[in-house]
Amino acid sequence: YEVTQPPSVSVSPGQTARIPCSGDKLGDKFACWYQQKPGQSPVLVIYQDTRRPSGIPERFSGSNSGNTATLTISGTQALDEADYYCQTWDNNIGVFGGGTKLTVL
């Protein structure tokens, strides 16, 4: 099973960034999202498609339907510039997307 992300997404500060993750009937599975900044370990920002862990800002939200899960960052800030990875499970096997580099410019 594979999930696919665009290599890069650009957004202006204060605007809304949307990062898609596509896979066959992905909407039938749970998706989560990780943020990774250079030289750091990934951080969970969305789980169970739409839920935010404690400490993650409200501007991060998620959705998952059909074949696409989407991470949405509202009011994007410069500090949101990072790599973002979607992840799901297929028959107990973890699957990561290839990652999307979010540039805030």
Partner 1 sequence: QVQLQESGPGLVKPSQTLSLSCNVSGGSISSVNYHWTWIRQHPGKGLEWIGNIYYSGTTYYNPSLKSRLTISLDTSKNQFSLKLTSVTAADTAVYFCARGDLGMVPGPFDYWGQGTLVTVSS
Footprint of partner 1 (CB under 8 A): 30, 32, 34, 36, 41-44, 47-48, 51, 53, 83, 85, 87, 89, 92-99
Cα-based angle 2, 8, 11 (whole degrees, multiple of 5): 130
Cβ at position 73, least distance to partner 1 in Å: 18
Please, which residues bridge with residue 84 across strands? 35, 100
Residue 80 or 83 with smaller CB distance to partner 1? 83
Cβ at position 19, least distance to partner 1 in Å: 14
Residue 18 or 51 with smaller CB distance to partner 1? 51
